[in-house]
Amino acid sequence: MTDCIVRLAGVRKHYGRSEVLRDLELCVPEGSVYGLLGRNGTGKTTTLRILMDLIRPNEGQVEVMGHNPADMPISLRQQIGYSSDSMQLIPWLKVGELLNYNGSFYPEWDPEYVNTWLKRLELDIKKRVFSLSRGDRQKLALIMAIGHRPRLLILDEPAGGLDPLARKEFLESIIELIHESGTTIILSSHQMSDLERIADQIGLMVDGRMRLEMSMEALKTRSRRVQLIGTGITPDLMIEGAVHRTSRGGLLELVLENWSAEREQKLLRRFPEARIESSPLSLEELFLVYTSKLTAGGASCPAGL
């Protein structure tokens, strides 16, 4: 069984009558970059805040580095880094003062590493936090999260306010952390191209549940865009494993799960006069497919192949 540095089982969270998480299951392999995806309001931030013990679930089991976050020893807490686009930073402190204050809580705080990132992200240590732009505040929060080279780094929309160059440098820092120290990273972001570049595991949440969870490679391999063109191809054609369909004229376009050469041959035998073309989908296309109303419940078309 895969060793999971973070595991959730049957986690439920509600605020009054509003249920945010519904029997959420999650497993983050140690040493991975785990991209947490979902539409706004699906429970991603709530999930990350539970991992940080900022809020607690109503039901279910939460395990971070082998411990319930509520009972985690301080020595393990000091091995976690966290950044969120809604983090509140002490406004009257200067950048350098805040970093020094933050570093005092971490035995492994690396001032030289911090200075390297201050230069890369062009942050002035003499500026007061309240005078920083939104993007610069996010840069500061990122440096605070990685300055102790954490074993586990939890990032909630960390680069939303960064310009393209700063975002590129931030992604490079993530890659460096993985290569240098094997840091496990959980990253929630709407920047699909960023996740596609660095994530090796994907968890896709829909309506507070885990819709699918697998490696990036497996996700892209098993889901393909398949076009069927020719006689006998109708819009209501039932194909097993279809999670999305569009049709126009004599063309039926499907997104199929568990696509393989064998399935292609079965389709060719069923429709010998048809032309069948398959192609991969980008992470953004897969996200749109799996979070559409058609697939929100996880239903596939009835077996017809």
Give me the CATH number covering residue 28.
3.40.50.300
Residue 129, in any domain of the structure? yes
Q: In the prediction, which pLDDT does 22 show? A: 93
The sign of the dihedral angle between the CA atoms of 79, 85, 91, 94 is: positive
Q: Return d(Cα 236, Cα 228) in angstroms, integer.
A: 13
Same domain, 168 and 262: no
- Quickly list H helices, 9-152: 44-51, 74-77, 95-103, 111-120, 134-146
Let me know whether 131 and 234 are in one domain: no
Among residues 216, 235, 265, the one where a domain terminates is 216
Question: Tens-of-pLDDT digits for all 305 residues of the chain?
Answer: 458 999 999 999 999 889 999 999 999 999 899 999 988 888 999 999 999 999 999 999 999 999 999 999 999 999 999 988 777 899 999 999 999 999 999 999 999 999 988 988 889 999 999 999 888 888 899 899 999 999 999 999 877 667 777 777 777 777 777 667 788 999 998 878 878 888 999 999 999 999 889 999 888 888 888 888 876 677 777 777 788 888 877 788 888 887 877 888 887 888 777 788 888 888 888 888 888 754 433 333 333 34
Report the domain count for the chain.
2
- Same domain for 70 and 142, yes or no, is yes
In a domain, 59, yes or no: yes
203 plus 239 within the same structural domain: no
212 and 230 housed in the same domain: no
Position 232 scores a pLDDT of: 67
Question: Encoding tokens for residue 61?
Answer: 């089991």
Domain stops at, among 182, 216, 250: 216
149 and 36 in a common domain:
yes
DSSP 8-class letter at 281: -
**Residue 249 counted as domain residue:** yes
84 touches 153 (CB < 8 A): no
Residues ≥6 apart with Cβ < 8 Å to 95: 118, 123, 124, 125, 126, 127, 128, 129, 132, 140
Answer whether residue 113 is part of any domain.
yes
The answer on 188 and 239 residing in a single domain is no
251 and 148 share one domain: no
Whether 295 is in a domain gets the answer no
Same domain, 100 and 246: no
Model pLDDT, residue 2: 58
Report whether 147 contacts 181 (CB < 8 A): no
Are 52 and 197 in the same domain? yes
Give me the pLDDT at residue 288, please.
86
| 303 lies in some domain | no
- Is 300 inside any structural domain? no
Domain assignment of residue 156, given as a range: 4-216
Same domain, 238 and 208: no
Structural domain includes residue 297 = no
241 shares its domain with 110: no
| pLDDT for the residue 161 | 65
- Domain boundary pick from 216, 250, 274: 216
